[in-house]
Structure 1
């Protein structure tokens, strides 16, 4: 990451990461497709209504894993083997604790949270059941994500992809078996997802355990070390808070969609799942930017960090225009994978119209904070993202939407909030970059 050409390495790093993110989304997509096809639109709405809540509950800890990624990348580039090993064991222990906490939070607070979101009575029972089973697998989910973050920090994005391919196939087969053969509905797809997460968790932990490098995992050495937790939290906690608060605004948006009834909920569920594929693609490039920036920051190559960000912006915009354009123009056909109900497809297209062609804006919006986190600056980008994204959506939902009630008006808030946030992040990046470049670096000739 610290020498040679950049774009080809970014692509080599990002493509497996994009595919990994897509496979993780397919866990939920297969759930949605199977229940939509074989258990009806109410079951489809039930599973979809949990997405925003699940993200709120989990993204704080997933954001913290970014701190582990940045710290591990920095130590790995600087060849600090002792610090690298202690970071790995602290991160994995932190993941286990986080997973157990989320297990109890999800089981005991699922129904109350769904009621606060105004989930209709005809789906809330199934939604609660799905969430409770899903959260039973949180320790697996957290351990996989933190383990994969460590592998990404050292440049390995291919093995996590292979692990997800294995678990994704298991998930798809179990979905069909439990729903069609045993008629378990939402419970069946939740059980399948938890099982698949357990498999991916076991594979990534085994990979770390068998490594002979500085990031080898030894279960006897698992321990929380305060100095590393502090550094992980310094970068990861603001990222987690930002993601959680943004998903809170998405939960408010979900509540607004819920007010249109189960047909609109089902359409939003299908469209939002497609929307997620765009997100994981641009987010993978953001993670590449963060990892490359962190390693180059660790060895003092400031100019190379600039080139990393510039190349990431080019790559992100190109990928988003291709994927977003394809998703818009082929939207009706793709939505038919989830449901054959024309009213549900129509609602889904209302969502996609304002979020696909403009999604390159979201990519730019996320890359700037990603570069800043790679340099160890995470708090100010968090505040600006919350002000620009969440603030705009709250004003939109409570100020504009009540007077113009339609899905079209509701989802225009996405590109508007992205543009406002980009302006704020550009200003922040300018001042941080100037501060970093004032420090002595190393020759890059």
Structure 2
């Protein structure tokens, strides 16, 4: 199996290889982005305050996602390593400790949901309607987040063992369930009571629990690479430490989004809650442009890393170029849609006249930065693949925090909400400059000195086969 994978990463035509490794994750991430979009579309039909409440709740959802992604990355890396060593016992131990961590993380958010949700919303707004809607939604998605945490663990186990098709089935089923249940539970169709925002949250957690049960079943029935039996289980703190040592950087990077959303929401609330609702809509819509690029990254990292290790300079550069072209193309498509159809996109969320006026300006302004973001994201991925994790982290920090928040605050002092959106364009432009300078440094240090050992590598792959 190992040699087959090596031959694939080292010899398969590059365009085909990139699509082969990236498409499943691109589709998976698009499906995941549907959850928030669908909830928001139906909740917007309740009221603009309800939509604003979901926008204020978004940092909590992103914080949960940060924990899930970070621990998932760490578990995946450790699990793949043990499988590569042909140590099924250690791979199984890693998977079981991953499940244990899933329960621990759920317990943390259960406590946070019960104790801190009300002060979290009261710290952001004094509008009692928004506070109540926010508490209703966030209380459910935190206290019943067991499904989401377990879904993530079991899906990562399937991915690490090469069973990505099953993860697409579980995620697709969850998304379809959520879409179907949202109008039924929110508006009270087919004899169900109308539960409003509660209904949106219940639809989400129910779909997540079903997906988790499916992922558990797929592992039990079809995944013979790991033995997930829990009788007599005891946590292995050494394994847990290794999971966190790999996963914490990813947790930090994803947590930045949570912090930025919280801070930007509070800047926008100085104008009107409508501006916050617009930003919430933007976050959900931009996922359809950004998520495929993040999926592309997942396929790009092993290709660049493998060919860097194999000293195959030509294939490594080819992979970077192809991924950059795809990323910019995806972002260009998003830019065109946001520029040409902002009113129609906002209409999906039952936008009022005021929300449309603010939203059209926001979508058109922010989408100018999409292509810049695509370049920075790919460069950050290259740094990560070549072992320059701190450079990758700095690209993300500059894009989302160091420049964005100060710029947004300064622009808010103009008293014009439309000026605030330019902070995102400014931060992406600065990130591009930093990424280009950093890439030049990395190229000189790591890529340029490499001799292209393509012929030698072909002979070596032939011998390994």
User: Which TM-score bucket, shorter chain as reference?
Assistant: 0.7 to 0.9
CA change 1:193–1:318 in 2 (3 A) is same
Matched, 1:101 2:108: yes
Hey, what does 2:422 align to over in structure 1? Answer: 412
Pair 1:233-2:244 in alignment: yes
Q: Distance in 2 between matches of 1:321 and 1:203?
A: 36
Corresponding position: 1:32 with 2:40: yes
Please, which moves more after superposition, 123-132 or 260-269?
260-269
Structure 1 residues 174-228: Cα deviation after superposition (integer angstroms, max 9, x where no partner): 2111121122111111011000010111112222222344345333486543443
Cα deviation per residue 1:308-355 (whole Å; 9 max; x = unaligned)?
Answer: 333222221112212332233122112212105232222222221122
- Residue aligning to 1:277: 288
Q: 1:313 to 1:220 in 2, by over 3 A?
A: farther
Match of 2:229 among 218, 222, 234: 218
Structure 2, unaligned runs of 5 or more: 459-465
Query: What is the CA–CA distance in structure 2 between the aligned matches of 1:302 and 1:224, rounded to whole Å?
Result: 41
Q: How many residues align?
A: 442
Corresponding residue number in structure 2 for 1:360: 371
For 1:6 and 1:119, how far apart are their aligned partners in 2? Answer: 55
Q: What is the Cα deviation at residue 79 of structure 1?
A: 5.1
> Would the aligned equivalents of 1:25 and 1:276 in 2 still touch at CA under 8 Å?
yes
Q: Deviations over 1:237-270 (max 9, x none)?
A: 1121122123312211111222222332333322
Q: Is the 8 A contact 2:268 2:275 kept in 1?
A: yes
Residue 209 of structure 1 pairs with residue 220 of structure 2:
yes
CA 354–218 in structure 1, closer or farther in 2 if over 3 Å, else same: farther
Q: 1: CA distance between counterparts of 2:153 and 2:221?
A: 17
Partner in structure 1 of residue 457 of structure 2: 444
Bigger Rg, structure 1 or 2: 2
- Structure 1 residues 219 and 355 mapped into 2: Cα distance closer, same or farther (>3 Å)? farther
- Conservation of the 8 A alpha-carbon contact between 2:362 and 2:418: yes
Q: TM-score, normalised by structure 2?
A: 0.84
In 2 relative to 1, CA 194–91 (structure 1 residues): closer, same or farther, beyond 3 Å? same
Question: In the TM superposition, what is the alpha-carbon distance from 1:414 to its structure 2 partner?
Answer: 1.6
Query: How far apart are 1:387 and its partner, in Å?
Result: 4.3
Matches within 5 A, 1:286-305: 286-293=297-304, 300=310, 303=313, 304-305=315-316
Q: Does 1:244 align with 2:255?
A: yes
Distance 1:5 1:362 in 2: 27
Contact 1:321-1:357 within 8 A present in 2 as well: no
* 1:140 corresponds to: 147
Q: Which residue is 2:462 aligned to?
A: none
Q: Give the equivalent residue in structure 1 for 2:210.
A: 199
The answer as to whether partners of 2:369 and 2:429 remain within 8 angstroms in 1 is no
How far apart are residue 234 of structure 1 and its match?
2.8
Name the CA shift for 1:141/1:29 in 2 (closer, same or farther; >3 Å). Answer: same
Counterpart secondary structure, 1:242: helix
Task: Give the Cα separation in 2 of the matches to 1:209 and 1:371.
Answer: 36
CA 1:132–1:341: 2 relative to 1, 3 Å: same
1:385 match: 396
Query: How many angstroms does 1:87 deviate by?
Result: 3.1
Q: SS at 1:356's partner residue?
A: helix
Off by >6 Å, runs of 4+ in structure 1? 436-442
**Match in the other structure for 2:118:** 111
Residue 330 (structure 2) pairs with residue 315 (structure 1): no
Q: Secondary structure at the match of 2:125?
A: coil
Indicate the RMSD between aligned Cα atoms, in angstroms.
3.0
Q: C-alpha offsets along residues 371-417 of structure 1, whole Å, 9 cap, x if unaligned?
A: 4444555345324532453110122133x223323333212222322
Q: Helix, strand or coil for the counterpart of 1:219?
A: coil
User: What are the equivalent positions in structure 2 for 1:72-91 lying under 5 Å apart?
Assistant: 72-76=79-83, 81-91=88-98
Shift of residue 54 of structure 1? 2.4
Structure 2 counterpart of 1:46: 53
Q: String of CA shifts for 1:136-186, please: whole Å, max 9, x gaps.
A: 232221222233334334444332222122112221222111121122111
* Aligned equivalents of 1:371, 1:358: Cα separation in 2: 20
Matched, 1:342 2:350: no
Report if aligned partners of 2:140, 2:202 keep a CA contact under 8 Å in 1: yes
Cα 1:58–1:20 shift into 2, 3 Å? closer
SS across alignment from 1:354: helix
Which SS does the other structure have where 2:349 is aligned? coil
